[in-house]
Structure 1
Amino acid sequence: MSSSGTHGQQCECQAVPFLDLAKQHSALREDVLAALGRVWDSGAFVLGPEVARLEEQIAQYCQTRHAIGCASGSDALLLALMAYDVGPGDEVILPSFTFFATASAVTRLGARPVFADIEPDTFNIDPAEIQRLISPRTKAILPVHLFGQCARMDQIMQIAQAHNLPVIEDLAQSIGAEWEGRRAGSIGHIGCISFYPTKNLGGAGDGGMITTNDDRLADRLRLLRVHGMRPRYFHRVVGINSRLDSFQAAVLNVKMPYLDR
């Protein structure tokens, strides 16, 4: 790429990549390969010690009692809605400006996404619009934190409390964001995280995490992510197969200390 510089001179310019994963990963290459080798040798490829370690780290980082690993950020949203028995005839309020997965998680359960307008300064959901759109069919509120900034969670939680509605935070693009000293994923009833490689904390493939301070919800989410199975081959509820694999967790455990740098 070339452009005209001062006095009509031509200068050679290079495009700056939107996301340079090779540069990001070059310094971590040896540590990541060593971590992957340990998983390979252990034979514990799904859930297991690496996932448990990552769950502990994410819970501590997000200031929550629990973090539950799953297969993707999209599954995190789906599982969160399943935990609240969202289904046909229900409505879930979410922002009109978000990724497709936020709305598709709602429709996969037969419910209806109700789109609220956003604020012009933050591009996050407008709490006044949430209030306006609540109906007898509303089952949950699903704010999305975009561009590293939280939605106005104080107002959203007040509205939710007044109407006895759960708040499910989508922080796929904002892990580490704060609202009045509280981390995203710890303010609502459930938080949903994506570890897709382009995210703030990205793995080497798909992965997700769900955060909560509610012991009962955490237990239900752990059950739902393994086909509702407990004990082995005894299915208490109809869940899905959404387990975080140990290779992704190993990569994320290496990258976790660098998240705030």
Structure 2
Amino acid sequence: MIPLCDLTAQYESLRDEIDAAMRSVAASGHYIWGPRVKKFEQKIASYCGVDYAVGVGNGTDALYLALRALQIGPGDEVITTPFTFIATTEAICLAGAKPVFVDIDPYTYNMDPEQLEAAITTKTRAILPVHLYGQPCRMDAVLDIARRHNLRVVEDCAQSLGAAYCGRKTGTFGDIGCFSFFPSKNLGCFGDGGMVTTNDPELFERLEILRRHGAKVKYHHTEVGVNSRLDELQAAILSVKLPHLDNWTASRRRHAYAYNRLLRDRENVQCPSEWTTSGPEVVLSEDSSHAQHNYCCYHQYTVLVRDRAAA
């Protein structure tokens, strides 16, 4: 039996580097708010192509803090997808807002932009698309609707670090991008961790304050925040792994296309589609003329089985 997610195999391949990084943290005496977190934030900002990145405790905190930074709360509505991990909706509720669901398209399983506009009301403040399974949403369509209705956009990128749409990484389209470094993610730490990305200096400052109990200066608290920190140990481990991420993603894509070639003719199975220049397509190779339009990082390879009993 092939393990669904073998974290020890990845560790063994990087054992010397990871062990050295952990020993360095242990010997430094800096475990919280140290230099490794700051350096890793800069690396993620550079990798994604944004101005700012803020390390937080986990992906759920990233979503919650993003909504708080945008001052979204009671009385507001946030449009999102019903087909996602509970944290997406949970963060909206924790902020005091109301989640409004827009159904998914049947090919990518992401929020369907064609149904999005009908869900907007006078109370709508933001759209929260999820790049599910590492498959980027149709962000051009989402942003067009958001601009016309003066809405904020928060991207749930928990499963999509390394994915891109029209040449831009996920987490760079909206006002804020939210990432998770849960151990099983494409880039995972040895505990919990998350990251928030933005190009807005005011939102960056708000996020910095909110993650530190609402304080810009130690012991001077201007609002109620939370205690949400990416620690030095996780930052050190993630810094070792980050240079390998693109190769890991390329490997995932090769495997996904191999599965597509094997399964595409099965009557009962619908392979995952990537949104290409001509619409949804089951891509069979990296050489496809459409493959670069929507660069899925395949956090998971998920098929739709029309008759589970017959599969």
TM-score, with length taken from structure 1:
0.93
CA distance in 2, matches of 1:122, 1:19: 22
Partner in structure 1 of residue 47 of structure 2: 61
Partner in structure 2 of residue 188 of structure 1: 174
Cα deviation digits, residues 31-62 of structure 1 (max 9, x gap): 11111111111111112111011101100111
Partner in structure 1 of residue 142 of structure 2: 156
Partner in structure 1 of residue 229 of structure 2: 243
Alignment of 1:41-80 (within 5 A): 41-80=27-66
CA distance in 2, matches of 1:176, 1:31: 22
Alignment pair present for 1:136 and 2:122: yes
Question: Are 2:208 and 2:216, in contact at CA under 8 Å, matched by a contact in 1?
Answer: no
What percent identity do the matched residue pairs reach? Answer: 52
Cα deviation digits, residues 200-254 of structure 1 (max 9, x gap): 1000010000000111111110111001112110011211110111111011001
CA distance in 1, matches of 2:112, 2:39: 36
Alignment of 1:14-29 (within 5 A): 15-29=1-15
CA distance in 1, matches of 2:142, 2:33: 34
Deviation at residue 86 of structure 1 after TM alignment = 1.3
Alignment of 1:68-147 (within 5 A): 68-147=54-133
How many residue pairs get matched? 247
CA distance in 2, matches of 1:109, 1:69: 19
CA distance in 2, matches of 1:226, 1:163: 33
Partner in structure 2 of residue 211 of structure 1: 197
Matched residue SS, 2:162: coil
Partner in structure 2 of residue 30 of structure 1: 16
CA distance in 2, matches of 1:62, 1:50: 18
Deviation at residue 147 of structure 1 after TM alignment = 2.0
CA distance in 2, matches of 1:212, 1:85: 15
- Structure 2 unaligned regions, length at least 5: 248-311
TM-score, with length taken from structure 2:
0.78
Partner in structure 1 of residue 184 of structure 2: 198
- Structure 1 unaligned regions, length at least 5: 1-14
CA distance in 2, matches of 1:99, 1:76: 14
Q: Which stretches of structure 1, 4 residues or more, deviate above 2 A after TM superposition?
A: none
Alignment of 1:3-14 (within 5 A): none
CA distance in 2, matches of 1:63, 1:124: 23
Matched residue SS, 1:192: strand
Deviation at residue 30 of structure 1 after TM alignment = 1.5
Partner in structure 1 of residue 250 of structure 2: none
Deviation at residue 89 of structure 1 after TM alignment = 1.3
Deviation at residue 175 of structure 1 after TM alignment = 0.6
Deviation at residue 85 of structure 1 after TM alignment = 1.1
Bigger mean CA deviation after superposition, 75-84 or 230-239: 230-239
CA distance in 2, matches of 1:129, 1:218: 31
What root-mean-square deviation, in Å, do the aligned CA atoms of Structure 1 and Structure 2 show?
Answer: 0.8
Deviation at residue 140 of structure 1 after TM alignment = 0.8
CA distance in 2, matches of 1:90, 1:55: 31
Matched residue SS, 1:174: coil
Question: Are 2:77 and 2:99, in contact at CA under 8 Å, matched by a contact in 1?
Answer: yes
Partner in structure 2 of residue 179 of structure 1: 165
Opposite residue 116 of structure 2, the aligned amino acid is: I
CA distance in 2, matches of 1:260, 1:47: 27
